[in-house]
Amino acid sequence: MTMLNRRILMALSAAAIGAQTLPALAQTRNPSRIRVALLPDENAATIIQNAEPLRLHLEKVLARSVELVVTTDYSSMIEAARFGRIEIAYFGPLSYVLAKSRAPELEPFAVGIERGSPTYNGVLIAQAGGLVAKVEDIKGKSFAFGDQASTSSHLIPRAFLANRDLIAGRDYQAVHLGTHDAVARAVQNGQVPAGGLSKAILDNLTSRGTVDKSKIIEIGLSDPIPNYPMVMQGNLAPELKARIREAFIGLQDPEILKAFRVQGFAATDDKAYDVLRDTAKVLDLDLTKVRG
């Protein structure tokens, strides 16, 4: 089969899948139970425990039962959103872009605010006293990323290195460890000399004592990244959508906000995440082939 024929077959298969899901998506839904998926960027049990105040808040505002869900990885969360197995999702920026490409009906409606800005940073770290003391030292060594669909633990640090003429597979070996905390621990313990993750998550890990701050050094900080979006299914009933927005926009409960490492939530839309699509293009990264 020629390359052109393979592409045509893939396009027809995608169209067929889309056609099969359209009738279900066209129906307005007003479920009695709301499933909220939280990004599996740390230990699942910790995420669920920390988000319990959110669950109680949502049950009160939405006047229905709420279930918190942490999937095994970013890929399964994207698929759960695609096939309507969750109503609300707290995606990472890149995983949202990937989910949107597979399920165009998804609607980002809120974004976390930190220090007055709807952005955050990625950070590159190395083991203190180890083989890497500066970014240039990464050449010829291994570098740890989180999930392939992670923004600050894959796309952004990969772009950061590429902008300094360090290309994965050519200048260093990429190692994917799945989560941000796994990257931090692996670097701390010397299993890999350097890695990339969210600056906010790293600060949280060191403040909790999960990672020993004295055993790592920061060797690079990314430009601001659009923060994690709250996303909902586009086929939910209008009155339910309004209540969901109300539950997040202007939220001030410190216990709830602490779980998301933000000071509040503001309104957002899909265009805010075009910068990630542009970054993927610069890296010549085909988002359709990113696991997710």
Q: Tell me the three-class secondary structure of 134-191, residue by residue.
A: CHHHHCCCEEEECCCCCHHHHHHHHHHHHCCCCCECCCEEEEECCCHHHHHHHHHCCC
Which pLDDT score, from 0 to 100, does residue 289 have? 64
Q: What pTM did the predictor assign?
A: 0.78
Question: Do the domains at 25-114+226-289 and 122-223 have one common CATH topology?
Answer: yes
May I ask the CATH class of domain 122-223? alpha beta
- pLDDT digits 0-9 by tens, 233-257: 999 999 999 999 999 998 999 999 9
Name the 3-class secondary structure at 89: strand
Tokens matching residue 78: 């994207």
Going from N- to C-terminal start, the domains of the chain cover 25-114+226-289, 122-223
Which pLDDT score, from 0 to 100, does residue 96 have? 95
- Residue written as tokens 């872009």? 97
Q: Is the pLDDT of residue 274 over 90?
A: yes
May I ask the CATH class of domain 25-114+226-289? alpha beta
Which pLDDT score, from 0 to 100, does residue 22 have? 41
CA dist., res. 187 & res. 164, Å (int): 21
Who has greater pLDDT, 284 or 291? 284
Q: Is the pLDDT of residue 4 over 60?
A: no
Write the CA distances from 286 to 98, 105, 178, 189, integer angstroms: 11, 21, 20, 33
Which pLDDT score, from 0 to 100, does residue 288 have? 63
Average pLDDT for residues 27-45, to the nearest whole number?
Answer: 90
Average pLDDT for residues 277-286, to the nearest whole number?
Answer: 83
- The neighbour count for residue 3, using CB atoms within 10 Å, is 7
Which pLDDT score, from 0 to 100, does residue 115 have? 85
Mean predicted lDDT score pLDDT of the chain = 89
Q: Is the pLDDT of residue 30 over 70?
A: yes
